[in-house]
Amino acid sequence: MYEGVHAHPDGEATVARLAATAGDYGYDGVVVRNHGDAQADYDPAAIADACGVDVVAGIEIRTDDAGRASGLLGNYRSKRDVVCVHGGDLNRFAVEQPAVDVLAHPMADGDVNHVLAKAAADNGVHVEFNVGRVLRADGGARVRAIQGLRKLRELVKQYDVPFVVSADARSHLQLRAPRELYAVGEVVGFDRETVEAGLAAWGDIAARNRQRRAETFIEPGVRIDDHEADP
């Protein structure tokens, strides 16, 4: 299971601190999904060796202009193992782009309807069940967050949309163990297996993209083995 996090300067904790805490909580890895204008300076391999968890280099594209988003997507697709798009104004753009891995927190500043859900399913774009506001907000904001996640859950189920689950931590103090996310999932209407699948999906995305970026990769289903590369 993996968790998607925002590290300093996008968050309050370093990548190393987040990775170490995630390991203590039983996660296999973290996806560093800093926004493009607040990227972290870190060595994924060194931190992984020190903390014993996989550190995935990701990014969350954030802009209100679809044309700029398209350019950023083209730039980062070959440089990051997980490419997310900040939800809200770009919900429609994101679900229509097969190059996008995750539409992040689509219900926080926007909405998802059946048209967008179907497009996400068709293009293999994962939508995020972001439970951060459920964990950290209260009163009306928390109620609205739960309502939004329940609506998204129904659309995901109806159209078989791929998805990820995250607490969207911006510090090691905001990380939550999987068992705590299972409890939050019950509030929204998810069973434990669904939450586990959403946490595991981050790692699945990273593994797939790492394979595609490998030097031996040509296209899905076609690889060059070492002996085949020799003359």
Q: Tell me the CA distances in angstroms from 5 to 125, 136, 229, one per residue in order.
A: 19, 15, 39
pLDDT in tens, 49-64: 999 999 999 999 999 8
Class in CATH terms, 2-229: alpha beta
Q: Are 30 and 3 in contact (CB under 8 A)?
A: yes
Cα 55-85-18 angle, rounded to 5 deg: 30
| pLDDT tens digits, 62-93 | 998 999 999 999 999 999 999 999 999 999 99
Tens-place pLDDT, residues 164-187: 999 999 999 999 999 999 998 988
What is the separation, in whole angstroms, between the first and last Cα of the chain? 42
At 220, the pLDDT band (50, 70, 90 cuts) reads low
Q: Give the predicted TM-score (pTM) of the model.
A: 0.89
Tell me how far the alpha carbon of residue 64 is from its chain's centroid. 19
Q: Rounded to whole angstroms, how far apart are CA atoms 123 and 141? A: 31
Helix or strand (DSSP H, E) at 84 = strand 82-86
Q: State how far the Cα of 100 lies from the Cα of 217, in Å rounded to an integer.
A: 19
Boundaries of every domain in the chain: 2-229
